[in-house]
Each structure stands twice: as structure tokens, then as C-alpha cells.
């Protein structure tokens, strides 16, 4: 299956233990689609409204660019922020599947220069422990408590 795709300038490639399990999570629960794949190589390129990620199933005899041992949770120290139109559809699918959240949904405001940018967000780990932060825009507002 191939979808029309404008490739992002930065696309993480995640080494995963079980591509099938990862695809069930990323597609079935989070809402990504396969842009293209190479099943014979255990590879899939996914897209969700311009948010893109590559999944590559670990194979000890294949070439991987690993900087250390593959120990769960993978991707320690990083979270992937994924902008979505609304977080509720993914939350509903995760809840229906009994998938635990790493952090419950919240409305958060982050200072960006002279404004605060808001997003409704939550965090969830994929089957390998990669941390995803899905967020939907809430808008912008003046910085709270900033003097003139």
C-alpha cells in the first residue's frame, strides 16, 4: 500500500523488536497509516498528517546503526511529540485496548517568546518503550505573570 507523501525533513527511524506488534500499536491505536513498506526487510514508513516515523524490525544479522545494546525501554531520554487534530480518538482506542498511559491527558501551556502555546497532551509508550507525546493545539495566549 502506498499513499501520497511529502517527506518530512526529519524522520526518526526506530528499531523495534516485533514489527507486527508495533504496527498494531502505531496504526491501530495511535492512527498512523503506512506510507510504504518493505515487509521482506521488516520495514515500514508511517505517516499521520505529516508526522512521520520509520519502523525497522531488529535483525541481528542485518545492518543497524546502534550506539549501544538494545535493552527495553528503547529510546530512553527522548519523547516524540506528535501533533494531532484531537487527542480523544487515540485516547479512546488506547482505553478500549486496555493500553496504559505513561501520563494522563492534561492541558499544558509552554512559553514561546512573548506568548504561551497551549496543547492538550498525553504520553504513552509503544511496545518497545518508545515514549510518544500526542498533542492537540489549544491556541496561544499572553504569557501569564510576565511584567511589562
Over residues 54-105, the pLDDT tens digits come to 999 998 787 778 778 888 899 888 999 999 999 999 999 999 999 999 999 9
Is the pLDDT reported for residue 147 higher than 80?
Answer: no
Cβ–Cβ under 8 Å, residues 124 and 132: yes
Domains in the chain: boundaries: 13-59+77-142
Is the pLDDT reported for residue 33 higher than 50?
Answer: yes
Collapsing DSSP to helix, strand or coil, 76 comes out as coil
pLDDT recorded at residue 2: 53
Cβ–Cβ under 8 Å, residues 98 and 91: no
Measure the CA–CA gap between 45 and 12, rounded to whole angstroms: 10
In whole angstroms, how far apart are CA 47 and each of 9, 66, 96, 123?
A: 13, 24, 23, 19
pLDDT recorded at residue 71: 87
**Taking the model in full, what pTM does it have?**
0.88
Vertex 7: Cα angle to 29 and 28 (nearest 5): 10
Is the pLDDT reported for residue 1 higher than 60?
Answer: no
Architecture of the 13-59+77-142 domain: Roll (3.10)
Amino acid at each position: 500500500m502506498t499513499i501520497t507523501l511529502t517527506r518530512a525533513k526529519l524522520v526518526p527511524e526506530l528499531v523495534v523488536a516485533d514489527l507486527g506488534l508495533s504496527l498494531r500499536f502505531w496504526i491501530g491505536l495511535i492512527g498512523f497509516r503506512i506510507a510504504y513498506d518493505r515487509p521482506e526487510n521488516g520495514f515500514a514508513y508511517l505517516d499521520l498528517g505529516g508526522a512521520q516515523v520509520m519502523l525497522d524490525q531488529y535483525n541481528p544479522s542485518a545492518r543497524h546503526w546502534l550506539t549501544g545494546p538494545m535493552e527495553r525501554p528503547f529510546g530512553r531520554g527522548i519523547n516524540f511529540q506528535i501533533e494531532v487534530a484531537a487527542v480523544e480518538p487515540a485516547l479512546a482506542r488506547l482505553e478500549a485496548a486496555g493500553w496504559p498511559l505513561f501520563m494522563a491527558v492534561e492541558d499544558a501551556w509552554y512559553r514561546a517568546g512573548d506568548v504561551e502555546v497551549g496543547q492538550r497532551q498525553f504520553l504513552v509508550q509503544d511496545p518497545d518503550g518508545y515514549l510518544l507525546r500526542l498533542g492537540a493545539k489549544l491556541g496561544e495566549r499572553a504569557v501569564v505573570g510576565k511584567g511589562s
